Structure 1
Amino acid sequence: MSDHLPDDADAVREALIEWYEDDHRDFPWRRTDDPYRILVSEVMSQQTQLSRVEEAYADFLDEWPTAADLAAADRGAVVSFWSGHSLGYNNRAKYLHEAATQVTEDYDGQFPESPEELQELMGVGPYTANAVASFAFNNGDAVVDTNVKRVLHRAFGVPDDDAAFAEAASDLLPEGESRVWNNAIMELGGVACGQSPRCDEAGCPWRRWCRAYETGDFTAPDVPEQPSFEGSRRQFRGRVVRALGSHDELALDELGPRVRVDYAPDGEYGREWLRGLVTDLADDGLVAVAEEDDTVTARLSK
């Protein structure tokens, strides 16, 4: 076991999986174990915003629903689709077409199932091969991407070293559960522990173990400058969420002193400042705000 991981690693695993299974982003490729569809999503997602990928993914599968359909397609049409949907380097379209041809002709229409075998497909590197093995066949290794490195560095102090990240990620991976685990830890990095962390707002399941949450130092390999946490808007948003979590509903002047000790209704950090915080949280769907007889109240959204 990596020296950087907590002793109660089983509790760490259970907390993350429970958090993920309770609620996560519902991407269409998470609703399938079809290796072809997962490969398409992985190739499309390389350096492309997921919001743009969702539309392109659906259109691509309408056009070529199976590997055999893609293999039979004219390569120029595939490249044209790729370019028309602004999916980045057109070589990816060529490689995807070639990989579909390999599966159809060399593998009798059946995808290989291990990360090592999947790398025999054109354009499929170690990361993509492992993702397909994990999400299609539940047969992958621990994913170690930028999001995972950020999470492990912040939560457990894993040093910015590829070997250390690989060891910690592998040690955390529950045996035989690469599908749910790799989805869950990437979701954590994408939703709760991005470059600008949303620990409380996203209900991060690792807060009790997290060094960054304890110290306020959210530096990470892809966040070279330490964000200022003490006194930051993020810190006070978290305090609002925690205060409302202990009460059904609070008026702003009841909430204010629970958020900062120098709250003064008409001061610099008063009602107007606090109203901005709760409005931001309402825009994120975390808080419900009501106004009646000039009194503004806030509660957690249900």
Structure 2
Amino acid sequence: MIKNILVAGATGNLGGRICRELVNRGASVTAVVRPATDPEKVENLRTLGVEVKVVDLNSIEELTKACTGVDGVVSALAGLADVIVDLQSRVLDGAIKAGVGRFIPSDFCTDYNGLEPGNNRNFDLRRTFKAYLDSTGIKATSIFNGAFADILKYNTPVLNLKDQSIGYWDDKQDWKLDFTTMDNTAAFTAMAALDEDAPRNLQIASFQVSPVALSEHVLEITGRTFNLHRLSSMEDFAGYIKQQRANDPAGEQELYAKWQQSQYMYSMFSTHHGDLANDRYEGIEWVSAPAYLETFVR
């Protein structure tokens, strides 16, 4: 039975929530952190009941020692190639050397497996790590949660509260978009981490909502009619993103460059989750689109 879980990236927003959910489910949780980690974040983890190990994350030997006696590793690391590929590979190598049986990589995004490589920089980094992960033979489970629901608060083209507009590409006004709250993602990830039989890929979504449905929910909540409009074709959008990226070479070193945000939008309108595993575990209260919108649209 899986009980001892190590979390990498535990001081992050998602990682801390995963630790909380694991502890709430009776797991023994260890977090590995850098020596320079904010002491307040370390104390927050310890208050949750997490054992914190300060580790040189460049050292596979130290990571191996930290992973000794662990049943599974959850990675909630966030970053570019030096983190998603390099650091995550060192964590994986340490886990394998310590005899850890399971690994959950830091995917936490739209299921990119059916998407064409090259259209999303951050997805491509995850593909690179996935190839290495799958070559090792360790049992792995990726959690695909679509987009974090928080992005609906950020005045993106999909929902712009400032302009009171809702946009879509092509004729995809009825296209279902996958959104999951961080709390729902963390709860599901914790249960998957404790599940010896979890499959390679699991798709989830707190709610799936189309641009048309978004406009209807907003109208019901606020009494205001937002401008539902077509932005462009997907082909034109792809061309715009390529030009946007070419004009912003500095963005290659930014986790969320403006063109990367556009790439996420493009991906959301290119695929959606058709095999939701929401019912796999009991006890998760999945947040509905109206309930989530109610928290900030008014």
**How high is the TM-score relative to the length of structure 1?**
0.27
Query: Which fold has the larger relative contact order, with Cα–Cα distance below 8 Å and residues 6 or more apart in sequence?
Result: 2
Higher strand content, 1 or 2: 2
Q: For the pair shown, which has the larger CA radius of gyration, 1 or 2?
A: 1
Higher helix content, 1 or 2: 1
